[in-house]
Amino acid sequence: MQNISTKQALRRALADKRSGRIVFVPTMGALHEGHASLLRQARELAGAEGCVVASIFLNPVQFDNAGDLASYPSTPEADLKLCETCGVDIAFTPDPASMYEGDRSISLEETNLSTALCGATRPGHFAGVCLVVNKLFNLVQPTDAIFGKKDYQQLAILRRMVRDLDIPITLHGAEIVREADGLARSSRNVRLTPEHRAAAPAIRQNLLAAKQAYETGTNADDVRRDLTAALEAIPGVRVDYAELVDAETLHELRTPASPALLAVAAWFGDVRLIDNIELQRA
């Protein structure tokens, strides 16, 4: 595996790989089994003749909270070892100074899907995501890219970006990887106190109960209300949102028959966790 930290070296390394499939997995580091799943899927998709590229870049532009950026876990040596173990060919590990000019003045903003869910309480977050992913797409020029469905809104927004800007990349959504007790894997989980870690799996349990209620006929307003109440009863939690939305628009359900998404965000102390579940009423 090559570990490359500059744009110029990345372009040189990829120059002779353009004839085959290039599968890209962008990450912010602090890699865990969820990331490993994405990397293994990328290796399978690329095949023996293709190339797998993973970026490890903690993007400062997408953080609306300086404290969250400062406390984000960093495990660079373990990250590179995991990438190599999972069959990555090129690890791209730039620093902020090499990714962004000091006087940068271009932004990239999605104005529909990003107004709900996480976008409603994290101003500028998805503009930062779109900017860095667009830059990485331009640098890597992959044929395919893989993103986890835990960040469902992010994936929807990036699909819209690829569509609206005619970027010739196929995006793949990978299923959420969970701990044995159901908690969605996240780099932030290591920051949970023992008490909060013990309570956090109730997020998934309540999502499953809400899914069953909706799919057996409970109306959307009641599902949303009951889910919020159940989450607020978890010890130590502060609910950011608990929403039942159209899975395509991320806004209010158009009809009960539409593909739907239950999405939640909750704080345990200064750690913000997100989770979701897709559902369909028969």
35 is catalytic: yes
If you search the block for the tokens 């999972």, which residue do you land on? 86
Q: Report d(CA 59, CA 27) in Å as an integer.
A: 9
Catalytic-labelled residue, pool 32, 35, 125, 196: 35
Task: Tell me how crowded residue 12 is: count the other CB atoms within 10 A of its CB.
Answer: 11
Q: Angle at the Cα of 202 (from 222 to 211), degrees rounded to 5?
A: 40
d(CA 171, CA 132): 16
As beta bridge partners, residue 51 has: 22
φ and ψ of 76, to 5 deg:
-60, -45
| Structure-block tokens of residue 141 | 């020029």
Shortest CA distance to 264 belongs to which of 187, 197, 205? 205
* Cα–Cα dist 152/277, whole Å: 9
- B/e letters for 152-179, b = 16+ CB within 10 Å, e = fewer, are bbbbbbbebbbeeeebebebbebebbbb
Distance CA 63, CA 46 (A): 31
The set of catalytic residues is: 35
